[in-house]
Amino acid sequence: MAIQPIILAGGTGSRLWPLSRELYPKQVISLTGELSLLQTTAQRVAALEDALPPLLVVGEEHRFLAKSQMEALDLFAGYRILLEPCGKNTAPAICGAAAYVDQLGRGDDVLLVLPADHLIVKTGEFARVVREAAALARQGRIVTFGVVPDRPETGYGYIAKGEGTAVASFVEKPDQATAERYFASGNYLWNSGMFAFTAATLLAEMQAHAPAIAASMTEAATTGREDGVFFRFDGVAMAACPSDSIDYGLMEKTAKAAVVPADIGWSDIGSWRAIWEVSDKDEQGNAVRGDVLLEDVRNSLIRSGHTLVAAIGLRDTMVVETADAVLVAPMDRSQDVKKIVDKLKQDKRGEYHVHRTVFRPWGSYTTLELHERFQIKRITVNPGARLSLQMHHHRHEHWVVVTGTAKVQKGEQTILLKEDEAVYIPSCTRHRLENPGVIPLELIEVQIGSYLGEDDIVRFDDEYGRVLE
């Protein structure tokens, strides 16, 4: 029986705003090294014995980011991406993945469920506890990994150990006094959100304890459809599925729960303080990244993404700069960043949702200027890629090639543009942009019109499976 890694790559990481956004979440960001958290998770499972190429569970809006990051690693020939048409929390995501594996006739495979956005430093010990968990899973147990705590922590849920590998109870995030009591007792582990079980065991226990979720996600897997490297769960079936976490939906109810203590150098990278704790620091305890100048700063996290950030006299402070937002807060208020994100949503501001640079399956675009009746963008198209055949009702577009070669379909015309050449696309004109070259195509786009929103796109043909007309 092989080990089938299931990497849960949903979520947005709102406590890591302004770097993490809904369309560019923390799992695809390089936070602690050159690779993203998703890529380091994929590397970790690639090193395991008897592990198959992973299955990623991803929301529709993140599918091409996940695909491009996996392709950049070039570690797996047969990985698959399971697409959720709507977010329903971890119990449906895990149940859907188990149903997908089971319908392939592999119900006895051990599923190793790993969030994509966690950091694990001790990879050798991780491999050892995976072997231990897999052995228990083959005996019909539903195994959770309990991280051995190194401090009292109020930000994590806990697992109380029972006899042997049994779970006595799952407990919520404690207050400080309770966390200190848990830590002193030595009988409590942090709840990591990592699991191991066979697909058949998980489905049977879900049918017993969460039958509505099991029925909906089995149907969503059975009636879903393949699309290249992607598999789309059926949207109607998943929309009818209740939303619940795997902890509430199953782990607190099942009699088959087991826990494996894991001293693996684990962090859920859930806040800027957590980033500071795992980052390399200077002699004053500062974790610095980007173009930063410091004077008399201690025990702080300072990150610059686009401009020079200068700080003087700070203590225990975090400063995070991106192209369109700056966060400044005491380090001990790092959990409150989510409150800012909630306010941005309430005010219907776009900064919670996207960066100025937005990634698309064909490349990316960066908003340079945005005003009431005009917008300027820098567009990058990957070699061999092309945009959809589309039209806009409310805006005209001017394109100027900066580098590379552009093949432009404008109405019935096909135009080839080189550096410092331009084309004008009137509103209501069908058009398409393509990079026929071997280097990235970069151009400047000037939009002029009464409405400049991204939803003013009528697609007539698209090779990436996006909605037409």
Provide the CATH number for the domain around residue 375. Answer: 2.60.120.10
- Under 8 Å between Cβ of 79 and 67: no
Burial classification of residue 183, based on how many CB atoms lie within 10 Å of its CB (0-12 exposed, 13-18 middle, 19 or more buried): middle
Question: Residue type at 290?
Answer: G
Beta carbons within 8 Å of 162's beta carbon, 6+ residues apart? 168
Q: With H, G, I as helix, E, B as strand and everything else as coil, classify residue 95.
A: helix
What's the pLDDT score for residue 61?
A: 84
Q: Is residue 348 part of a domain?
A: no
Q: Is residue 347 part of a domain?
A: no
Q: How confident is the model at residue 22 (pLDDT cuts 50, 70, 90)?
A: confident
Residue 32 has pLDDT above 90, yes or no: no
User: Other CB atoms closer than 10 Å to residue 53's CB: what's the count?
Assistant: 16
Phi-psi region of 165 (alpha: psi -120 to 50; beta: other; left: phi over 0): alpha
427 shares its domain with 290: no
Residue 302 has pLDDT above 90, yes or no: yes
> Beta-strand (E) ranges in 178-248?
188-198, 225-227, 230-232
Mean pLDDT of the chain: 92
Helices vs strands, H then E, count in the chain: 11, 30
Q: Is residue 36 part of a domain?
A: yes
CATH code where residue 65 lies: 3.90.550.10
Phi/psi for 110 (5° steps) reads -85, 120
- What digits encode the pLDDT tens for the residues 323-339? 999 999 999 999 899 99
Q: How confident is the model at residue 359 (pLDDT cuts 50, 70, 90)?
A: confident
- Under 8 Å between Cβ of 395 and 429: no
Across-strand partners of 304?
Answer: 321
Rounded CA separation 243/250 (Å): 12
- What digits encode the pLDDT tens for the residues 365-407? 999 998 989 999 999 999 999 999 999 999 999 999 999 999 9
238 shares its domain with 327: no
Quote the number of domains for the chain: 3
What's the pLDDT score for residue 469?
A: 56
Q: Is residue 421 part of a domain?
A: yes
What's the pLDDT score for residue 156?
A: 87
221 shares its domain with 96: yes
Residue 1 has pLDDT above 80, yes or no: no
Out of 310, 340, 370, pick the residue that ends a domain: 340
Q: Is residue 209 part of a domain?
A: yes
- What digits encode the pLDDT tens for the residues 60-97? 888 888 988 998 888 888 899 999 998 899 999 999 99
- Which two structure tokens, joined as six digits, stand for 297? 């700063």
Out of 340, 366, 396, pick the residue that ends a domain: 340
Q: Is residue 173 part of a domain?
A: yes
Residue 228 has pLDDT above 90, yes or no: no
145 shares its domain with 51: yes
Residue 465 has pLDDT above 80, yes or no: no
Residue 429: which domain range?
357-461
363 shares its domain with 333: no
Q: Is residue 345 part of a domain?
A: no
What's the pLDDT score for residue 467?
A: 66
What's the pLDDT score for residue 453?
A: 87
Rounded CA separation 148/187 (Å): 10
Rounded CA separation 354/360 (Å): 12
Q: Is residue 457 part of a domain?
A: yes
Q: How confident is the model at residue 49 (pLDDT cuts 50, 70, 90)?
A: confident
- What residue has token string 């769960």? 233
314 shares its domain with 373: no
Rounded CA separation 67/70 (Å): 5
259 shares its domain with 307: no
195 shares its domain with 326: no
94 shares its domain with 58: yes
Residue 181 has pLDDT above 70, yes or no: yes
374 shares its domain with 286: no
304 shares its domain with 259: no
Out of 223, 246, 267, pick the residue that ends a domain: 267
7 shares its domain with 133: yes
Q: How confident is the model at residue 468 (pLDDT cuts 50, 70, 90)?
A: low
Q: Which of 280-294, 315-329, 452-466 has the lowest mean pLDDT?
A: 452-466
